[in-house]
Chain A
Amino acid sequence: MFLHVDLDAFFASVEQLLDPDLAGRPVVVAGLGRRGVVCAASYEARPYGVHSALPTAIARRLCPHAVFLAPRFHLYEDHSRRVMAILDDVTPLVEQLSIDEAFLDVRGVRRLHGDATAVATAIRARVHDEVGLAASVGGATTKFLAKIASDLAKPDGQLVVAPGKELEVLHPLPVQRLWGVGPKTLARLERLGVQTVGDVARLPVESLVHAVGDAHGRHLHALAHNRDERVVVVERDTRSIGNEETFAHDLTDRAAVERELTRLADRVAQRLRAADVEARTITLKARYGDFTTLTRARTLGAATAVSTVISATARELLGSVDVARGLRLLGISGAQLVATAAEQQGTLNLGALTEETERDERRAAVERAVDAVRARFGSGALAPATLLDVEPRSSERS
């Protein structure tokens, strides 16, 4: 189940939030120069025909009594971050599309937060209570339909399309709702007598291909049947789980560096497991004493949350780092996060053929047990043996 979260009239809503005098009045955030265009229009301004991308001059004619404001992006970014932080609390599987919208994969959070409807309600309540903004949320079994649903739910509403009911919702909609149907495609489709998404669905794919081209035709055909294979892609840079550590004295000893990597890998793995995700890509960050920083990354064959796999990968990546030059900072992060499969098919012990799978499985089991011990007795209760004779570092941050 995917959720699409969209902040209503975002820039205008932030301005209304910050200046109570603006509440309830038409507010237009726009480029105010001669060739400026509208960035956002509050719902009070929309009945006058004001919408984003409209030239500001025309907007002024349509709604002369609106308050026109120049955009203040730093404020919007700040509010956006606070909303995204709420979404990150729900699941790490968040794909931020722009400053005011994001997809969430909520399939794995049912036990924690309830079904999609409950999650949608909770998100809207928290965004309203903690940030003061209205969000509309759409939910469906595909990203495509979730986005349409949030649009249908606007303003300040939610619509979760139950599995099995997708086509009932989708087919009566005008064909322009399909991604990729602009004026040109629309004209071609209208020639085929197509008005609704349902009309598209009923056309043989060959006719669509003939009318609008091969790739485009197949794409529209798939969407009209609510076929959209895309998954939530967690942004590589902004959506990762990592730890880094700055040392009081630059490290020059490879053994000491490797010990630090073990420690960092252990923490990263623990945090991945706590978030019920596994990482496909492991990144090593190293900063020399002169602040030159380098990062090295490797994508694994299978996603992992096992510390020994992460530390082994980090050690391999360390091969290209000149440790003797002195390291003031080390960091490990896991990116390309995927939800942990809750249930895993066991493997028979077939010697060399299954050795690797089994070793990783055993380690994963051990580390889950370690998590349980730490949860009860504190994070210092268990540690990798290589770290036992080393004082804990103090200047850690993540």
Chain B
Amino acid sequence: MKFRCERDTLAEALATAQRAVASRNGALPVLFDLRITAIADAIELVGSDLEITNRVTVPAAVEQTGVAVLPKILGDVVRKLEAGPVTVEVEGDEAKVSSGVFATTLRLKAVEEYPRILATDGAGAKVDAHLLAGALRQVVKAASKDEMRPPLTGVLVAARPGGTGIRLVATDSYRLALRDLDGVSMLEDGQKVLVAAKGLNEVQRLAGDGEITVVLGEREAVFRTDKAEVTVRLIEADFPNYEQLIPQGYPNRLVVPKEAFREAVERVTVVGQGRDNANVRLQMSTGGGLELSVSAADVGTSTGHLDAKYEGADLTIAFNPQFLLDGIDAVDASEIALETVDHLKPATLRPADGGDFLYLLMPVRTA
């Protein structure tokens, strides 16, 4: 195998493949490596921890086709080289990476030990890349990182009843994010799958312009963007029944400009940075708008006021500041409605003019 490729192109492709490489102890050793395949006028780079596989293809001047498995430091080696063309050449049991007067040799790993990455033919469904990436941005953050609760580490992708579009849902049991996407058809009627949230982060990251092709297999979902192809394992578990959690109506409704709300929360939260129990209290009253406060033991207290439209009973409710900020960020609108029942029941953040997104957030119980 021998090819030449521009440093920047190669380094970026390696970084993408490398993100899927195993990072955890105990993984199969070969999963810490990268697989490179040189074909006619391009090279394909693959990194995988078996849960997520990133596959990138970039143009290269290939002199000799072939396959090699190399340690992932290849990425660091390439990044440190001078700008310009980089040559990678397999000689015996080593690969030589060179640029100008600098050269590094890396020991090859056994190609046959690298897991077989499934070919992903199949036509698949096409989704607008910006639309899908935007929806993922709103939802994926609410998924759990707790591997003891596998069903919550995924994002539910479900066909909406009646066959119009899909719904994305994620929850870590403290908050839940839900987004409906109209006119997207990648599922059959009634079909639903649970896709690992970590993989969907990659999809969001690699979404470019144009379209993303989604191919659903038995055990994995494949997302093909114009930059790379991400294969994500499906989680074999039932997503909890979330529909009953969403209150049908709310007695209290606060409407605030999104940016002002976010800034106000960030401003009062600083005092509690890195502290447990430095929750943000929202005090709402008709005519009085919104009072925010954070009190951190041993540090101090911050308070603030925001003009806001409020209808309902006077209420003080407390939230974990990060969860609240995640919710505010996720709402894609200039005005946010915060709807509440009381200081213990889940509250909802959504665009003030309705729309297809909601963020359900459990309050913090205060003494």
Cα(A243)–Cα(B296), bound, Å? 35
Please tell me if the beta carbons of A348 and B245 are within 8 angstroms of each other in the complex.
yes
Kindly list chain B residues whose C-beta atoms are within 8 Å of the C-beta of A255.
none
| Most chain B CB neighbours (cut-off 10 Å) among A107, A110, A344, A348 | A348
Please tell me if the beta carbons of A141 and B298 are within 8 angstroms of each other in the complex.
yes
Please tell me if the beta carbons of B364 and A348 are within 8 angstroms of each other in the complex.
no
> Quick check: is A385 within 8 A (CB to CB) of the other chain?
no
> Quick check: is A375 within 8 A (CB to CB) of the other chain?
no
Cα(A347)–Cα(B171), bound, Å? 11
> Quick check: is A395 within 8 A (CB to CB) of the other chain?
no
Please tell me the size bucket of the interface on A: 20 to 34
Please tell me if the beta carbons of B364 and A343 are within 8 angstroms of each other in the complex.
yes
Cα(A110)–Cα(B175), bound, Å? 31
Given contacts A163-B299, A353-B152, contact A343 B279 (CB under 8 A): yes
Cα(A357)–Cα(B148), bound, Å? 14
Please tell me if the beta carbons of A345 and B346 are within 8 angstroms of each other in the complex.
no
> Quick check: is B96 within 8 A (CB to CB) of the other chain?
no
Please tell me if the beta carbons of A348 and B176 are within 8 angstroms of each other in the complex.
yes
The residue in chain B whose Cβ has the minimal distance to the Cβ of A358 is B173
29 contacts between A and B (CB under 8 A): A1-B298, A108-B297, A110-B297, A163-B299, A342-B277, A342-B367, A343-B365, A344-B364, A344-B365, A345-B174, A345-B320, A345-B362, A346-B174, A346-B344, A346-B346, A346-B362, A348-B171, A348-B173, A348-B175, A348-B362, A349-B244, A350-B171, A350-B242, A350-B245, A351-B240, A353-B149, A353-B151, A353-B173, A357-B173
The residue in chain A whose Cβ has the minimal distance to the Cβ of B346 is A348
- A347 touches which one: B151, B174, B241, B298 (CB < 8 A)? B174
The residue in chain A whose Cβ has the minimal distance to the Cβ of B176 is A348
The residue in chain A whose Cβ has the minimal distance to the Cβ of B151 is A353
Given contacts A343-B366, A345-B364, contact A351 B241 (CB under 8 A): yes
| Most chain A CB neighbours (cut-off 10 Å) among B245, B297, B299, B344 | B297
B240-289 CB contacts (< 8 Å) to partner A: 240-242, 244-245, 276-277, 279
A343-370 CB contacts (< 8 Å) to partner B: 343-354, 357
> Quick check: is A112 within 8 A (CB to CB) of the other chain?
no
* Binary flags per residue of B282-312, CB closer than 8 Å to A gives 1, else 0: 0000000000000001110000000000000
> Quick check: is B154 within 8 A (CB to CB) of the other chain?
no
In the assembled complex, how far is the CB of residue A352 from the closest CB belonging to chain B, in whole angstroms? 8
The residue in chain B whose Cβ has the minimal distance to the Cβ of A1 is B298
Interface of A with B (CB < 8 Å)?
1, 107-108, 110, 141, 163, 341-354, 357
> Quick check: is B351 within 8 A (CB to CB) of the other chain?
no
> Quick check: is B75 within 8 A (CB to CB) of the other chain?
no
> Quick check: is B360 within 8 A (CB to CB) of the other chain?
yes
Kindly list chain B residues whose C-beta atoms are within 8 Å of the C-beta of A342.
277, 366-367
Kindly list chain A residues whose C-beta atoms are within 8 Å of the C-beta of B363.
346
Please tell me the size bucket of the interface on B: 20 to 34
Cα(A354)–Cα(B346), bound, Å? 15
> Quick check: is B318 within 8 A (CB to CB) of the other chain?
yes
Interface of B is mostly: loop
Cα(A350)–Cα(B276), bound, Å? 25
| Most chain B CB neighbours (cut-off 10 Å) among A1, A349, A353 | A353
Kindly list chain B residues whose C-beta atoms are within 8 Å of the C-beta of A349.
244-245
The residue in chain A whose Cβ has the minimal distance to the Cβ of B360 is A348
The residue in chain A whose Cβ has the minimal distance to the Cβ of B363 is A346
In the assembled complex, how far is the CB of residue B247 from the closest CB belonging to chain A, in whole angstroms? 12
Please tell me if the beta carbons of B277 and A347 are within 8 angstroms of each other in the complex.
no
Given contacts A348-B176, A348-B362, A353-B240, contact A341 B298 (CB under 8 A): no
Given contacts A347-B362, A351-B240, contact A341 B174 (CB under 8 A): no
Kindly list chain A residues whose C-beta atoms are within 8 Å of the C-beta of B279.
343
Kindly list chain B residues whose C-beta atoms are within 8 Å of the C-beta of A350.
152, 171, 173, 240-242, 245
Cα(A357)–Cα(B172), bound, Å? 13
Please tell me if the beta carbons of B152 and A341 are within 8 angstroms of each other in the complex.
no
Please tell me if the beta carbons of A343 and B298 are within 8 angstroms of each other in the complex.
no
In the assembled complex, how far is the CB of residue B299 from the closest CB belonging to chain A, in whole angstroms? 7
Cα(A108)–Cα(B149), bound, Å? 32
The residue in chain A whose Cβ has the minimal distance to the Cβ of B175 is A348
B102-154 CB contacts (< 8 Å) to partner A: 149, 151-152
In the assembled complex, how far is the CB of residue B291 from the closest CB belonging to chain A, in whole angstroms? 18
Given contacts A141-B298, A353-B151, A353-B152, contact A347 B173 (CB under 8 A): yes
In the assembled complex, how far is the CB of residue A297 from the closest CB belonging to chain B, in whole angstroms? 25
B327-367 CB contacts (< 8 Å) to partner A: 344, 346, 360, 362-367
Known A345-B362, A350-B240, A350-B245; 13 more pairs at CB < 8 Å: A110-B297, A141-B298, A344-B365, A345-B364, A346-B344, A346-B362, A346-B365, A348-B171, A348-B346, A350-B242, A351-B240, A352-B240, A354-B173
B169-185 CB contacts (< 8 Å) to partner A: 171, 173-176
Kindly list chain B residues whose C-beta atoms are within 8 Å of the C-beta of A1.
297-298
In the assembled complex, how far is the CB of residue B10 from the closest CB belonging to chain A, in whole angstroms? 34
Please tell me if the beta carbons of A343 and B367 are within 8 angstroms of each other in the complex.
yes
Kindly list chain A residues whose C-beta atoms are within 8 Å of the C-beta of B171.
348, 350
In the assembled complex, how far is the CB of residue B246 from the closest CB belonging to chain A, in whole angstroms? 10
In the assembled complex, how far is the CB of residue A104 from the closest CB belonging to chain B, in whole angstroms? 14
Cα(A344)–Cα(B367), bound, Å? 9
In the assembled complex, how far is the CB of residue A33 from the closest CB belonging to chain B, in whole angstroms? 49
- A341 touches which one: B241, B277, B346 (CB < 8 A)? B277
